[in-house]
Amino acid sequence: MMRVGATATQGLFLEEVSRLAGVEIAGCYQCGKCSAGCPMADEMDILPNQVLRLIQLNAQDELLAANGFWRCVSCQTCSSRCPKGIDAARVMDTLKILAVSRGWRPKDRLVAILQRLFLANIRRHGRLQELELAALFNLRSFRPFQDIRLVPKLHARGKLSLARHETRDIHSVQRIFELARPFDRPASTSEGHRP
């Protein structure tokens, strides 16, 4: 069972995440529809509705040490299903930003690699180059032929683009990365552990 313990410094966590995300997290009544539709639920140690509950409980350390929000792929399914209009996908993104700014990193090595490569890909091209990301991820994770047989199928179904889509205004994208740099605090201990 997960231990939930709030400290004085964690007392404002609900308020802080709600404000940063612009989401009324206190309004979540735990119906679970977000988690029921999440395509990544089987990969998460803490489901989307549980993430929201931990925020309500100000259980900052338990939440930031988990892998659930790192595995979110921002598909928006949870947000579109919520009967209360709570944008859980935005909360997940906000938690990643908060975690990095506090020196936390995903404890799962592959998730950490994917996060880094994803951001580097966007920074380089302005838009995601899916094939390049997949190839680099396979190389960096020492599994060069992982899922390679799926490429033709995914492409045929429009789930994987083989074309390059460069953005016209790459300088604006890179400027965003520059503005975010002060928040990218280096991990001060091993990944996934409290800084």
Name the site residues for ligand SF4 (rule: CB under 6 A).
Answer: 28-34, 38-40, 48-49, 52, 72-78, 81-82, 84, 86, 88-89, 92
**In angstroms, what CA-CA distances link 129 with 15, 69, 142?**
36, 23, 20
- State in angstroms the smallest separation of the CB of 139 from ligand SF4: 25
- State in angstroms the smallest separation of the CB of 21 from ligand SF4: 12
Task: Output the DSSP codes for 64-84.
Answer: HTSSTGGG-----HHHHH-TT
Q: Which is nearer to ligand SF4, 112 or 170 (CB)?
A: 112
Q: Which is nearer to ligand SF4, 92 or 136 (CB)?
A: 92
Q: Which is nearer to ligand SF4, 17 or 78 (CB)?
A: 78
Exposure string of 104-128, with b = 16+ CB inside 10 Å and e = fewer, is bbbbbeebbbbbebeeebbeebbee
- State in angstroms the smallest separation of the CB of 46 from ligand SF4: 10
- State in angstroms the smallest separation of the CB of 1 from ligand SF4: 20
Give the length of the chain.
195
DSSP run (H or E) holding 113: helix 109-125
Q: Which is nearer to ligand SF4, 86 or 136 (CB)?
A: 86
- State in angstroms the smallest separation of the CB of 95 from ligand SF4: 10
Please state, in angstroms and rounded to a whole number, the distance separating the CA atoms of residues 86 and 28: 7
Q: Which is nearer to ligand SF4, 39 or 195 (CB)?
A: 39
